[in-house]
Amino acid sequence: MKKYFWIILIAAFAVRIIGIATIPGGINQDEAMGAVDAWALSMYGTDRFGIFLPVHFTAWRYSQMSVLLAYLMIPFIKIMGFNIYAIRLPMVLMSTMGIALTYLISKKFFSEKTSLAIMALVAINPWHFMQSRWALDCNLFPHLFLLGFYLLLLGLEKKRYLYLSMIAFGLTFYCYGVAVYSVPVFLFVYAAWCLWKKQLPFKDILISIVIFMAVALPEIITMALNVFHRPTIETPLFTMPYFPESVRGNDILFMNFSFEQLGKNIMATIKQVFLQMPDSLFNTLPAFGPLYHISIPFILIGIVHFTKRLFAEKDMKKQTIDLALWGFLITGIWVGLITYEVNVNRINIIFYPLILLCGYGIWQTIDWCGNHGKKLRNGLLLSYTLFGIAFFTQYFTDFAKDIPSYFNVDFLEIAQDADQMEDYDSLYITSNMGWQTNPDMAEILTQYSCKIDAQYYQEKTMTHQGRQLLPYSERYHFVHMKDQTFEDRTSLYVIHQSEIGYLPQGYEVLSQNNSFLVVKVPAM
């Protein structure tokens, strides 16, 4: 069986890393944001705003970003340079670790063969595969939670693993904001059960709380600073920043409760998770959903039968282990209820337990079929194989052609072209990305594409890539073309082709990349 474990793991890693620089083509704006901050940290120990080792990123100012994935990028940037491989490789590795962990966790609940089957399900799973190939900060959350979950199961027998699990769970706070209102709930309920049923001594639980709080406390303090509008706290080790423009708390139900919003959250969870309805293209392919549509009945069977097994179990140790997986699932559902109208990446914590229970549901269904179980097993093996082949084929063909426009590939290339033109002091860049209009998005994509140094951005230096330039705020202007007033000097513009009508007479197209153009506009 060990041989099959390594075959699945190596094959899963290979298919996740192949062509990772070009599929998805370009880069997502959130991905670019984390990458630029990671690059600044690798050089100066600050984010691009000059904040020393922040425990949470300023990011969009009005909307922040978790830091852990960016910190994981730093050694890869140091070794490989600032490029797309260094940016995306950490997520590939963490996702591959998640595949191995599903096998190890499954062995705690199910047979060896079922565990290998579940591992194979994860290896070909659409959600797991697609999130592994780009560097979105929140997608680190389920993998680190899974690591903590596995160590917690081991910790029921050996307390050193229990303490290690608290480190992993504490680090989830630096993966995604929803960890703050989901991970403590899971741990509190499970600790209360273990204390009540005498599965863990109070001393071990107390030590675990101390370890967890020590790891998570900087992020908790940061959240408190922003709830109560208190100033940034700087320490010799890290910074806990205050974000005066933040509106991110609106994403949480109990920050602005209404039954109407709760109903919308419930419907969003059902649609995204249990009905697997279409989501953003970068999260799922509509024909397959996050888990394959064929999995829906087996997920439901697995949940129902596992719940019966949990409540029927007489052995307290086994019941305590089973309760952990059930709690994992309930935690995912809780996130769906509390978080504003979730999509696939917002409720990503739920997919690991669903895959585990899907595998269990398949095994139960085969077992119920008795003498016909072998035929069903072979039929399902063939079906999932065909679905997997179809999914990977569509991903590497149709998806590869469609996603670059959403990952801004044309804009990235044209912005770089314009920045390298040396006869112009200032550059005016459109906010129109073709699929969305957002000046902040245009700015971070420009910073990524043009490799704008953090100290130049902070205007501590006027040198950018060996060139003496105007200060950043005078050189780069991110504009809405329909509102733009043209100056009394020749200027360089990056525009979307739909905005040509806003230009004055006498403009000259210097470069074009599909929908985007570099245009010289004469003095008015």
Q: How confident is the model over 316-336, as pLDDT tens digits?
A: 999 999 999 999 999 999 999
* pLDDT at 63 > cutoff 80: no
Give me 127's structure tokens: 């959600």
| Pairing assessment for the beta strands 239-240 and 233-234 based on DSSP bridges | antiparallel
Q: What gap in Å lies between CA 470 and CA 417, rounded to an integer?
A: 18
Query: 404 or 259: whose pLDDT is higher?
Result: 404
Task: Say what the pLDDT of residue 321 is.
Answer: 96
425 band by pLDDT with thresholds 50, 70 and 90: confident
Angular region, 520: left φ>0, alpha ψ -120 to 50, beta rest? beta
Contact 56, 66 (CB under 8 A): yes
Considering only residues 341 and 204, tell me which one the structure prediction assigns the higher pLDDT. 204
Task: Give the confidence band of 488 by pLDDT, cuts at 50, 70, 90.
Answer: low
Q: Count CB neighbours of 437 within 10 A.
A: 15
Least confident of 259-263, 329-333, 455-459: 259-263
Residue 249 confidence (pLDDT) above 60: no
Amino acid at residue number 498: S
The region that residue 32 occupies, defined by phi over 0 for left and psi between -120 and 50 for alpha, beta otherwise, is: alpha
247 Cβ partners below 8 Å, 6+ apart? 62, 63
Amino acid at 331: T
Mean pLDDT within 30-38: 97
Tell me: the pLDDT tens digits for 432-450? 998 889 999 999 999 999 9
152 contacts: CB under 8 Å, gap ≥ 6: 161, 162, 165, 169, 190, 324
Alpha-carbon distance of 45 to 17, in angstroms, equals 29
State mean pLDDT over 133-162: 97
Least confident of 254-263, 382-391, 400-409: 254-263
What radius of gyration, in Å, describes the C-alpha atoms of the chain? Answer: 25
Whether the CB-CB separation of 279 and 342 falls below 8 Å is answered with: no
Is 81 a residue whose pLDDT tops 60?
yes
The residue-averaged pLDDT of 405-418 equals 93
| Cβ contact 518:414 at 8 Å | yes
pTM over 0.75: yes
Containing H/E element for 510? strand 508-513
- Please give the structure tokens belonging to residue 273: 């998770």
Q: Which residue has the tokens 């570099």?
A: 518
- Band of pLDDT at residue 256, cut at 50, 70 and 90: low
Phi, psi of 512 (to 5 degrees): -145, 140
Query: CA nearest 34: which of 179, 178, 137?
Result: 137
DSSP symbol at 484: P
Lowest mean pLDDT among 266-270, 361-365, 407-411: 266-270
Stretch 15-25: mean pLDDT = 96
Task: Judge residue 388's burial from the number of C-beta atoms within 10 Å of its C-beta, 0-12 exposed, 13-18 middle, 19 or more buried.
Answer: buried
Neighbours of 254 (CB within 10 A): 9
pLDDT at 205: 97
> How many Å apart are CA 505 and CA 524, to the nearest integer?
9
* pLDDT at residue 253 greater than cutoff 80: no
Mean pLDDT to the nearest integer, 68-89? 98
What does the pLDDT average to over 454-483? 92
| Model confidence band, residue 521 (pLDDT cutoffs 50, 70, 90) | confident
The pLDDT score that the predictor gives to residue 360 is 96
71 pLDDT band, cuts 50/70/90, is very high
Q: Is the pLDDT of residue 92 over 60?
A: yes
Return the pLDDT at 250: 55
Alpha-carbon gap, residue 22 to 288, rounded angstroms: 22
What was the pLDDT predicted at 294? 96
The percentage of the chain sitting over the pLDDT mark of 90, rounded to a whole number, equals 78
Is 80 exceeded by the pLDDT of residue 361?
yes
Q: Residue 485 in 3-state DSSP?
A: coil
Whether 85 contacts 20, CB under 8 Å: yes
Name the more confident of 260 and 337: 337
Residue 1 pLDDT > 80, yes or no? no
pLDDT at 254 over 70: no
Residue 426 has pLDDT above 60, yes or no: yes
SS (H, E, C) 173-233: HHCCHHHHHCHHHHHHHHHHHHHHCCCCCHHHHHHHHHHHHHHHHHHHHHHHHHHCCCCCE
Average pLDDT for 456-465: 92
Residue closest to 391 by CA, chosen among 295, 498, 324, 483: 295
- What's phi and psi for 519, nearest 5 deg? -125, 135
How high is the mean pLDDT of the chain? 93
CA distance 462 to 472: 8
- Grade residue 466 by pLDDT with cuts at 50, 70 and 90: confident
Beta-ladder partners of 437: 432
State the average pLDDT over residues 349-364: 97
User: What's residue 257's pLDDT?
Assistant: 63
Taking each continuous run of H as one helix and of E as one strand, the counts in the chain are 20, 9
Tokens coding 185: 């709930």
pLDDT at 160: 95
Residues contacting 208, CB < 8 A, separation 6+: 162, 163, 165, 166, 191
